[in-house]
Structure 1
């Protein structure tokens, strides 16, 4: 085992996901010798075993055997599209990494290089001052310590590197950015857009803003990336690097600097706190391969980017005489105020006509309908905040012939199987949830994971505000479909519980007062200024848009602050 001197770095980053990759790249590019710790095994870009396989080349027609699900994925299987031979290997097994539910919660994780950035949904939207000011105006939770102006240049900065395809709409509550060309709408989607704009002028239908390189520039989109191939197999990993992930972008760039040391199978147990200096001295790590515990030290900063729930777990486990309730937990806010977006409600319908039209390629984007309720110009609802929609139009395949048994066996059936099905269109709403300190996680020392670390107990649920919102989410979707001439319009609503959207956030929120928050406006722990937390933990409210772009912007901003503070010797390094 190395001595302390050999295990000391300028900076330590915990996690290699969306925000951890950014922290690693930015610190390394600024010249800091940076240790990056990943809990899972190494995943190299291009090592995606199912990326080029068709369904008939996969075992069991791309399905998992029942016994495999029951043994390894009893909870993960609630997210049905993950239960595929083509993608399940990217996700954690429930029996290896268990958790306890006081109230139903889906914790969907991927422990490997890049984390969930390998499998994420790739939609990228900005929060606006409508979001940053909402808590203060409505008396909910606590006020954000920042506003859009603080984050805007960093949104621009990360957006250019990531490469976000989209379309400018000039909406104050959905700020634009430096977009690559958006993925074009198909004919049914164009008809829907035009009809909605005519019938509901206050509503906007636009293309999804997604992290796909529709116009690849090797001088800007660094790493091992290329143009999007429109295969829409993104959850399997993209060998072309057509969408943004840490494993194809930020981690390779960090590695090229020569300043990064990346260690895999390294589960961080706790942050080492120096009470005299009021600093994070380093981290204690359990090496999964050997079961050994190792300490790594930082002479500068530590960035905690293990993901919302894991970062909170590490803080809670970092107990000492000086921090008996966990590091940064003087306010008792670590692990509280868990938020997620609630969805699984909307509407769908069929579209007649366009039988002479077909789609070339597979759209990885679809349509986006930004929030249009509670914007100040319309009448107030019975609930606070709002929701947006994701969805789009599609043409069916030959399956309709078999399903409906509409053609008798013979030459006519053979001919029918060469024809596509009809057109359909549908939308799923994503609604904001409010912060609630009773939505929390706690450490469970009675149940440990495969590395012997304590697990989490989830005690979270959506509240009355979300319930009232859901009553309208599906109604408005059906209303717009009917306005576009859709037939057989049907609304749907399924059970909604936290975690299912995979947008968990808020466990170590930013704020203006150390008595009610965990982090200050620069993402620093209040009483440990060289410890930064820049993943979803930092969120003070949720908004109704996909949050990953905000995590990236906050991380780049925090690294800039940290390095300037180190240069001024304000962090004591």
Structure 2
């Protein structure tokens, strides 16, 4: 798909280097290449070519060994990822080998990684929601964390820009706390979801239920096919219907002729030039040969994912930055955030026994935040807020796994649709706490002799209070919606299960309390940009990936402008 810088080609000088090829790295590559910069993308893992390297994309459940379950050896190799519950035979090749990539859990923390071209853009949930000024102003108003150096008006045109290229399906709602996007036609709710929507909105003033806003094409666009409702997204989509770096941004970068991708490139550090006061390049270790190689460039975009980018910056020491590149404030590695998850309620419906639905819609419903909104009463139990994701469907034959029946009648019954079920789970905002941190573990080295990462983070009182409200409200809504056998739940999971790691190299107005400025540049090393989850100053309660895309496109535009002015 692209030029590959492997052993046969040893060019070392580029206009730009992008570390990582996931959601934000793909956008950085696209924008920089389209602006004429010869760009090297350093990918820690293997090449994954769109379509060619999706080996299980058409497999049916009976095609997988063990009906999709992992072997004992697989479970050992992915002993961290199995805790999340998303990995199986059909997608295990897109998850990093946890044995080869250890980290230390000072407190329990699940870190799910995907080391290959495209990163976790091949595995993400694709839910896309804009942030609002409710989010960008929250730190300043309630005193938690530092103030964002930007507001919604600064990023709004960039949301539109990335949405038009990525393709986001959804419906407009006109809520100030959840700005509308540039939408493709929305997917449709099924009959039970429509009924629950009507009942919730009539019973609870200010609460809305909409179809999810999701990075799936509902009509063909730019040579990509529309979603076929197979719900096999985490195997790689051969139609390019859902957004991934492999299907969308990296091909656009390649079409310019300016893209080079180097796989198996473990970034050891960013090289700082004391004389110029700038970064001069990147030092990598070849994952296959252990060779150390240095690449030079005028600008560097760090997009390895929140924790990996911070690990690289912490390991990039010099006389000027003895504690890590850009760490004058001492905030590098601190203020780690995630979203709470797996708290909510579920129930059954006795209605619509004569109705079903077509296909396997890769999307659900969304209930936007309705607490602690601007110009409305504020809770005395917690600050910030939460939203819900969920869906309705009919139980299938797998419900028989917990029944003791056998025989023909049992099999016939399992072949008929089961009862309608509906569930919602909350995603609550996590505050930026200084003591939620990561740091280099110099006692535990990886197979390449590099320090691993230690993670020391946990939920605090505010997140636990939010979860309590999520659980109570979820049960109340489902009860009032007329569902039967409603059960509320809280899985009491540790941080990391949301797979929305944010913070650890936050943006801010003051170099003494933050790592990055308002255009994602390291305050004291302005030719290094960080635009993945590490840059986030707060976490909102909505999925963050759309914001990463917009911030990356905006930062790349600024980088190109500054290069033209010879300011970098």
With normalisation by structure 1, the TM-score equals 0.95
C-alpha separation between the residues in 2 aligned to 1:374 and 1:305?
33
Q: Comparing 449-458 with 485-494, which one deviates more in the overlay? A: 449-458
Residue correspondence of structure 1 range 497-516 to structure 2 within 5 A: 497-516=494-513
**Secondary structure of the structure 2 residue equivalent to 1:425:** strand
Report the alpha carbon displacement of residue 404 of structure 1 after superposing the two structures with TM.
4.1
Aligned mate of 1:350, from 341, 348, 351 = 348
1:484/1:329 CA distance change after superposition, 3 Å: same
Report the alpha carbon displacement of residue 170 of structure 1 after superposing the two structures with TM.
0.2
Aligned twin of 1:477: 474
**Secondary structure of the structure 1 residue equivalent to 2:90:** coil
Q: Is the 8 A contact 2:219 2:225 kept in 1?
A: no
1:135-176, Cα deviation, whole Å (9 max, x unpaired): 000011100000000000000000010100100000000000
Report the alpha carbon displacement of residue 34 of structure 1 after superposing the two structures with TM.
0.6
1:338-388, Cα deviation, whole Å (9 max, x unpaired): 000011110000011201101110111110000111114234231000100
Aligned mate of 1:31, from 36, 42, 49 = 36
Aligned twin of 1:420: 417
Report the alpha carbon displacement of residue 115 of structure 1 after superposing the two structures with TM.
0.2
Aligned twin of 1:306: 304
Report the alpha carbon displacement of residue 86 of structure 1 after superposing the two structures with TM.
0.9
Aligned twin of 2:193: 189
Report the alpha carbon displacement of residue 506 of structure 1 after superposing the two structures with TM.
0.5
1:30/1:312 CA distance change after superposition, 3 Å: same
Residue correspondence of structure 1 range 326-341 to structure 2 within 5 A: 326-341=324-339
Aligned mate of 1:563, from 557, 560, 564 = 560
C-alpha separation between the residues in 2 aligned to 1:478 and 1:416?
30
Aligned twin of 2:243: 244
Aligned twin of 1:54: 60
C-alpha separation between the residues in 1 aligned to 2:258 and 2:146?
39
1:286/1:402 CA distance change after superposition, 3 Å: closer
C-alpha separation between the residues in 2 aligned to 1:329 and 1:311?
13
Report the alpha carbon displacement of residue 479 of structure 1 after superposing the two structures with TM.
1.0
Report the alpha carbon displacement of residue 434 of structure 1 after superposing the two structures with TM.
0.2
Q: Is the 8 A contact 1:64 1:85 kept in 2?
A: yes
C-alpha separation between the residues in 1 aligned to 2:165 and 2:34?
14
Q: Is the 8 A contact 1:315 1:326 kept in 2?
A: yes
Aligned mate of 1:42, from 30, 40, 47 = 47
1:414/1:143 CA distance change after superposition, 3 Å: closer
Report the alpha carbon displacement of residue 555 of structure 1 after superposing the two structures with TM.
0.3
Q: Is the 8 A contact 1:73 1:95 kept in 2?
A: yes
Question: How many residue pairs end up in the alignment?
Answer: 561
Q: Is the 8 A contact 2:508 2:517 kept in 1?
A: yes
**Secondary structure of the structure 2 residue equivalent to 1:248:** helix
**Secondary structure of the structure 1 residue equivalent to 2:542:** coil
Aligned twin of 2:164: 160
Aligned mate of 1:468, from 461, 465, 468 = 465
Q: Comparing 496-505 with 370-379, which one deviates more in the overlay? A: 370-379
Residue correspondence of structure 1 range 112-511 to structure 2 within 5 A: 112-218=116-222, 225-298=224-297, 300-376=298-374, 377-400=376-399, 403-404=402-403, 409-410=407-408, 412-413=409-410, 415-511=412-508
Aligned twin of 2:3: none
**Secondary structure of the structure 2 residue equivalent to 1:555:** helix
C-alpha separation between the residues in 2 aligned to 1:10 and 1:247?
22
Q: Comparing 269-278 with 155-164, which one deviates more in the overlay? A: 269-278
Aligned twin of 2:541: 544
Q: Is the 8 A contact 1:374 1:381 kept in 2?
A: no
C-alpha separation between the residues in 2 aligned to 1:343 and 1:170?
26
Q: Is the 8 A contact 2:211 2:365 kept in 1?
A: yes
Aligned mate of 1:76, from 68, 72, 81 = 81
1:237-274, Cα deviation, whole Å (9 max, x unpaired): 11111100001111111111100111000011000101
Aligned mate of 2:112, from 108, 121, 124 = 108
Report the alpha carbon displacement of residue 5 of structure 1 after superposing the two structures with TM.
10
Q: Is the 8 A contact 2:430 2:463 kept in 1?
A: yes
1:417-448, Cα deviation, whole Å (9 max, x unpaired): 43111100000100000001111111112222
**Deviation beyond 6 Å, 4+ runs, structure 1:** 1-5
1:184/1:296 CA distance change after superposition, 3 Å: same
C-alpha separation between the residues in 2 aligned to 1:401 and 1:289?
47
Report the alpha carbon displacement of residue 399 of structure 1 after superposing the two structures with TM.
3.8
1:263/1:28 CA distance change after superposition, 3 Å: same
C-alpha separation between the residues in 2 aligned to 1:354 and 1:539?
44
Report the alpha carbon displacement of residue 64 of structure 1 after superposing the two structures with TM.
1.0
C-alpha separation between the residues in 2 aligned to 1:87 and 1:240?
17
**Secondary structure of the structure 1 residue equivalent to 2:74:** helix
With normalisation by structure 2, the TM-score equals 0.96
Q: Is the 8 A contact 1:401 1:416 kept in 2?
A: no
Q: Give the gaps of 5 or more residues in structure 2.
A: 1-5
Q: Comparing 163-172 with 59-68, which one deviates more in the overlay? A: 59-68
1:15-45, Cα deviation, whole Å (9 max, x unpaired): 0000000000000000001111100000000
Q: Is the 8 A contact 1:4 1:297 kept in 2?
A: no
Q: Is the 8 A contact 1:142 1:540 kept in 2?
A: yes
Q: What is the Cα-based RMSD across aligned positions, in Å? A: 1.7
C-alpha separation between the residues in 2 aligned to 1:319 and 1:399?
54
Report the alpha carbon displacement of residue 110 of structure 1 after superposing the two structures with TM.
0.2
1:4/1:238 CA distance change after superposition, 3 Å: closer
1:466-492, Cα deviation, whole Å (9 max, x unpaired): 111111101111111111110000001
Q: Is the 8 A contact 2:283 2:294 kept in 1?
A: yes
C-alpha separation between the residues in 2 aligned to 1:16 and 1:521?
23
C-alpha separation between the residues in 1 aligned to 2:233 and 2:471?
28
Report the alpha carbon displacement of residue 317 of structure 1 after superposing the two structures with TM.
0.6
